[in-house]
Structure 1
Amino acid sequence: MTRKGMRIVLFRPPPFSSAPRTPSPHTSSPPLPDSILEENLEVAKSFLARWGPDSTTAVSLFQGDDRDEARQFIEVVKNLHAAMQCHASQDSSSDKLVRAHDLMSTAMERLQKEFSQILSVNREYLHPESVSRVQSPMTISARSSVSDFELKTEDEFGIANESISEVERVSMLAMADLKAIADCMISTGYGKECVKIYKTVRKSVIGESLYNLGIEKLSFSKVQKMDWDVLEIKIKSWFKGVKTALKSLFKGEKILCDHVFSASLPIRESCFAQISKAGATILFGFPELVAKYKKSPEKIFITLDLYEAIADLSTEINYIFSSTASSNVQSQVVSSQIKLGENIGTLITDFETSIQKESSKKPVPRGGVHPLTRYVMNYISFLSDYRGILNDILADWPLPTKLPMPESYYGTSKEEDSPITLHFAWLILVLLCKLDGKGEHYNNVALSYLFSANNLQYIVNKVRTSNLRFVLGGDWIEKHESKIKLYSSKYRRIGWSEVFSTLPADVKAEISPEEARESFRNFDRAFKETCRKQTSWIVPDQTLRDEIKISVAKELGALYGEFYAENRVRTGRVSESDPVVRLSPDDLGNYLSDLFYGSGSGSEGSVSSSTPSSHSSPFSAVF
């Protein structure tokens, strides 16, 4: 039969439809099923003689620019199958039906061979990343004339459009070929064979791609035996590859699978689930393995990063693995998040315990900021960067004690307080209670209050300059700033009490010259001795340092200034070389300027009586 004659047979309207055809009185009766089958047997036999699975006339039906032969082959198979169904309803044991089955098996062998070859030869062009680009909005308009990738030639694809790259062009053609074969095999009852070939090839693509992304299959025992440095490298590889794996690899694979097997929803969902199961389980099971690794407080941040990465990708995960067939992947994602959340909650509880168990008793030199304060506040401030996901996690973790939070510390609890607000406020309370105990180790009560002011100032500064300000709020900051002022006031009252006691209760009252001289001598001695002690003390925060010194200068300078004005002239001199009044009100500011830099010995030496100071003075407006 000539090709022209063959095309007449192949492309004529189907000889029957799903509904029985009623003969028209003006036309001849339709062909009988027996003659329909006979006709299609002849066409199929002739066509398969050239394109059977063992034929050496050509490498592939789907090769080169011309898809005409491939289209004809698929039409031959469909027509043969339709004729077989029609004939089987009349005579299921016919010899012709047996011959048709043999020819259909031969045709399916050829299509399976073509299907496998297209998948293998075009492996690079059918990489999920390439498929994702084909499905991008940029290329949709370029192929808008193509209806669902029907089997077409390159000319029919509109390949002349220069906006389509070579990779996209080859990908589009290969996808169209695969879909045409899959549609044919599924419609003729050979979908299982088609899917088997597809799964074998595409599983290896996913496995190879994950390996190239640095994501490998690891067992629980292997992870537990790893040094943290080694595991950390693998975690970094996971972070680097997870987005690509999900948004390019699995998404692209789903696009390809959905397209190739678009003829059957159950087949495409099942096929994609089986292809992706192993790789997706490796990808999303890794965070769970990390969550089960040996715990320490410092590992909480990388655990939070893992939790956040999964949460950020949840929309894509739910879309790609949305079918019931992919429920095992969904379960793995949920399991990893649960384990990570439990790990994070446990680490925060362990962190609180580590604060309570800190047992150092040696006072911090000079009343400065305790290392525990720095460590805890740095830790909590970093945690506050994850406040969104921590709110979700800590909602399932009650405060680790049943004792109510002191109202003097946090204020009245509000219903709208978030879980992270309550937990972080509690952690800081635990720290402050610990610091109160450490302040008792100072022999000097004034220094212990200065220690409390320094540490609370550091805490408040950390809150102000980090995301903790959004967690704890302005009321918390104001309440603790008032406590700093209280500690400063107690320091001033106790630390300078001996100096204040040298002045009369009423500095303007008239006293004898002898009493005035005695007060001046006592004031000079007490003031210099107090300055000598406190030059070794330290206030690291400049604002707090200036506030404390200014408050001392204002209170002490006002009293001494009035006493000085009333009694300086009447005291006279004991001798030319030994004046009674050695300090003027202006001198006080110069001495106070040297305080709280930690420069003195604190136990020996004396404060120089010279007025110049090496530090800039904030007291020019005070005296």
Structure 2
Amino acid sequence: MPTKGMRSPWFSSKASSSYIAKSSSPSRFAFSPSPTSFSESVIDRTLELAGPMIQKWNPESSTFAKVTSLFHENRGEAKDFIKCVSNLQKAMQLHVAENPTSEKLVLAQNLMQIAMKRLQKEFYQILSTNRAHLDPESVSVRSSRTSVQSTSSDDEEDLDEVQKAGDSIAEVEDVSSLAMADLRLIAECMISSGYAKECVTIYKIIRKSIIDEGIYRLGVEKLSSSHVRKMDWEVLDMRIKNWLDAVKIAAKTLFNGERILSDHVFAASDSIRESCFTDISKEGASILFGFPENVIRNSKKSLEKVFRLLDMYTAIATHWPEIESIFSFESTLLVRSQAITSLVKIGEDVRTELAEFESVIQKENSKSTVAGGNVHHLTIDSMNYLSLLADYSNVLSNILANSPPPKQTSSPELYSGLSDSDDSPVPTISRLFAFLIHLLLANLDGKAKLYKDVSLSYQFQANNLQYVVVKVRTSNLKYLLGDDWLSKQEVKVRQFAANYVQLAWGHVIKSLPEDPAVDLSPKEAKECFKRFNSSLEQAHRKQSVCVIPDSKLREDVKVDIARKILPVYREFHNKHRVIMGSERNFESVVRFTPEDVEHYLSESFLGAVVGSGSSSSSTSTSSHTRASRFSKILF
């Protein structure tokens, strides 16, 4: 590449000025006939052709040249101007080897300086007046780095044909294409003439302001550690949401478009396009990709933060191919390293948060029982938390890939139902969720023992395990734990419910004869009716506080009780109520018809259902609201 050697001290600006002053008209560029060398004839001819064109657009020679844009006024003439400058440069290179002290070189250098000032002015005007058409979004939409680098200045004629066919393209895209082509023409001309520094300086100043403005508009700014520490979670959460949107836009358009533009404009020099893009983008990219690390290091402790951490991890991991491609230069290694560091820090913090969650489940030791054996708040909040985590199972799998497996326990049923064979080993993420649910159920077993009424403790276990089952079945936990695991838990729910029915309603069932069709004396029948009446009322009164929030479990329990009581009582009632008709206090003895008993049962288990104790009621609550409530309850 030619250097600024053409601007070396042996080109005296004073000499060139006096020489050019003697030339009062374009004809003075013709020299008197004399024996000349080939290089001298070339530079004579070049000066004769290039001189008038360059002087015409000398900003200091006329008001027209000062206020008019060459490329805007006449693109055809602009290309001729570029060719004149290119030919002048070649002629100077040819002649300097033969006669380095030639006055013609001084004149040529003077013309070259005038031309470079013109092109410098044009370069600045195109960049500044086309900011809207050269914004990264417009550039990234219409271009690709592969396509723009494949076009060279030698293909300008082909580019013209493309631009002519561009009448059907949107106006903005057409203007953007023309501006990029013009910038590239000027940049290549200035670089080959040894004026790269002037060109690059203008480019960096204007384009860096666009990147910095873009980052600011995306709501990303450099925050101090103390600033982050003082932020309420709601404010920081909003910042993270803005950042998540910013990463997507930055990777797809802002930095991508800027890389495309710099690659295109400075395609003639790998070192220059790298330098330009790096200096323009490095500061903004470092702020953007350093944000997660700042949040992790300085934000307040909160279990709900894990979801935003996983969102940030997903954002960087999803766009990593673009980040790696855009910032592929050696000089942008710091940007790639910052993105990787943020991923590592997020992974570490997520593992810390999961360990904290595990600790919270184990240490929750409230001693008060839940009214009616309802679903415990620990069950609700823990399962909401786990179901939300399951939505990030792929991300969590990556984060936990190199982590030790969940702690082993003495329970043989910890991973019961999970497939575990040489052909299908249980993934670490599935073991993690099975382990955390196991901890939850172990804690609930301890809370069940707090009930003085053993039947209610079984109902408490049935309610809570049913909530777990429903939450697993209706979330991504189902795919992590599998149908076999669910089936085993459902069997346990039925066992708990059956134990409840046996303990709470068994005395009602036993109050009736084993064979309702057996003949009884009026006295025996009367005693049997009385026993049944007393047992039913006692059971109904005692179990009226029992709550079964899940509709399916509630119906299953009712059906089980009714199946064991109603057929026997109906047959007994229909057979013996006739012989009781002669009793003076018949109504006090035969107090319940089979329909009355059925009605009693239909009204059971509908006690005051605790807020979100219903399996269905919690599903409408927003994910982060639930996580927030969990955090507030357990800390």
Please give the TM-score of this superposition, normalised by the length of structure 2: 0.80
CA contact (8 A) 2:144 2:260 kept: no
Taking the aligned partners of 1:422 and 1:55, their CA distance within structure 2 comes to 81
Match of residue 389, structure 1, among 392, 395, 414: 395
What is aligned with 2:606? 597
Does 1:178 find its partner at 2:183?
yes
Moved more, 408-417 or 293-302: 408-417
- Within a 5 Å distance, the mapping from 1:232-271 to structure 2 comes to 232-271=237-276
Does 1:490 find its partner at 2:499?
yes
CA contact (8 A) 1:62 1:177 kept: no
Moved more, 416-425 or 77-86: 77-86
Q: Please state whether the residue corresponding to 1:407 is helix, strand or coil.
A: coil
- State the 1:436 CA deviation: 0.9
- State the 1:444 CA deviation: 0.2
Does 1:206 find its partner at 2:215?
no
Does 1:321 find its partner at 2:330?
no
Moved over 6 A (4+): 1-9, 146-149, 152-157, 505-513, 565-573
- State the 1:558 CA deviation: 4.8
One-letter amino acid of the counterpart of residue 311, structure 2 = D
Give unpaired runs (5+ residues) of structure 2.
1-22, 610-635
What is aligned with 1:613? none
Does 1:370 find its partner at 2:376?
yes
What is aligned with 1:481? 490
What is aligned with 1:345? 351
Match of residue 295, structure 1, among 301, 306, 314: 301
Kindly, what percent of the aligned residue pairs are identical? 47
What is aligned with 1:86? 94
Taking the aligned partners of 2:571 and 2:128, their CA distance within structure 1 comes to 100
Moved more, 446-455 or 459-468: 459-468
Taking the aligned partners of 1:578 and 1:385, their CA distance within structure 2 comes to 61
- Within a 5 Å distance, the mapping from 1:59-74 to structure 2 comes to 59=66, 60=68, 62-74=70-82
- State the 1:581 CA deviation: 4.7
Say if 1:70 and 1:148 are closer, same or farther in 2 by CA, change over 3 A.
closer
Taking the aligned partners of 1:248 and 1:99, their CA distance within structure 2 comes to 46
Moved more, 114-123 or 448-457: 114-123
- State the 1:269 CA deviation: 2.6
- State the 1:531 CA deviation: 1.4
Say if 1:582 and 1:232 are closer, same or farther in 2 by CA, change over 3 A.
closer
CA contact (8 A) 1:242 1:283 kept: yes
Quote the RMSD (CA, aligned, Å): 3.8
Taking the aligned partners of 2:455 and 2:231, their CA distance within structure 1 comes to 51
CA contact (8 A) 1:149 1:172 kept: no
Taking the aligned partners of 1:44 and 1:316, their CA distance within structure 2 comes to 45
Match of residue 404, structure 2, among 376, 385, 398: 398
Match of residue 65, structure 2, among 58, 79, 90: 58
Q: Please state whether the residue corresponding to 1:410 is helix, strand or coil.
A: coil
Moved more, 212-221 or 402-411: 402-411
Q: Deviations over 1:374-403 (max 9, x none)?
A: 111112122222222222223233345232
Moved more, 190-199 or 347-356: 190-199
- State the 1:154 CA deviation: 11
- State the 1:180 CA deviation: 0.9
One-letter amino acid of the counterpart of residue 217, structure 1 = K
- Within a 5 Å distance, the mapping from 1:125-204 to structure 2 comes to 125-135=133-143, 158-159=163-164, 162-204=167-209
Q: Please state whether the residue corresponding to 1:162 is helix, strand or coil.
A: helix
Bigger relative CO (Cα 8 Å, ≥ 6 apart): 2
Say if 1:154 and 1:308 are closer, same or farther in 2 by CA, change over 3 A.
closer
Moved more, 413-422 or 364-373: 413-422
Taking the aligned partners of 2:187 and 2:377, their CA distance within structure 1 comes to 68
Match of residue 331, structure 1, among 299, 324, 337: 337
CA contact (8 A) 2:509 2:564 kept: no
Moved more, 45-54 or 383-392: 45-54
Q: Deviations over 1:92-119 (max 9, x none)?
A: 6666656655554454344333322322
- State the 1:580 CA deviation: 4.6
- State the 1:480 CA deviation: 0.7
Q: Please state whether the residue corresponding to 1:428 is helix, strand or coil.
A: helix
One-letter amino acid of the counterpart of residue 81, structure 1 = Q
Q: Deviations over 1:255-314 (max 9, x none)?
A: 211111111223223321221111111222223222332231112222222222223323
Say if 1:381 and 1:177 are closer, same or farther in 2 by CA, change over 3 A.
same
What count of residue pairs does the alignment treat as equivalent?
A: 575
Taking the aligned partners of 2:122 and 2:591, their CA distance within structure 1 comes to 109
Taking the aligned partners of 2:264 and 2:174, their CA distance within structure 1 comes to 16
Match of residue 557, structure 2, among 545, 548, 560: 548
Does 1:532 find its partner at 2:546?
no
Q: Deviations over 1:164-191 (max 9, x none)?
A: 3443333223222211111112223333
Q: Please state whether the residue corresponding to 2:177 is helix, strand or coil.
A: helix
Does 1:499 find its partner at 2:505?
no
Say if 1:534 and 1:98 are closer, same or farther in 2 by CA, change over 3 A.
same
One-letter amino acid of the counterpart of residue 130, structure 1 = S
Say if 1:178 and 1:150 are closer, same or farther in 2 by CA, change over 3 A.
farther
Taking the aligned partners of 1:147 and 1:37, their CA distance within structure 2 comes to 26
Taking the aligned partners of 2:77 and 2:24, their CA distance within structure 1 comes to 13
Q: Please state whether the residue corresponding to 2:223 is helix, strand or coil.
A: coil
- State the 1:350 CA deviation: 1.3
Taking the aligned partners of 1:430 and 1:7, their CA distance within structure 2 comes to 94
CA contact (8 A) 1:150 1:176 kept: no
Taking the aligned partners of 1:245 and 1:45, their CA distance within structure 2 comes to 46
Match of residue 424, structure 1, among 414, 430, 433: 433
Taking the aligned partners of 1:254 and 1:401, their CA distance within structure 2 comes to 48
Say if 1:520 and 1:87 are closer, same or farther in 2 by CA, change over 3 A.
same
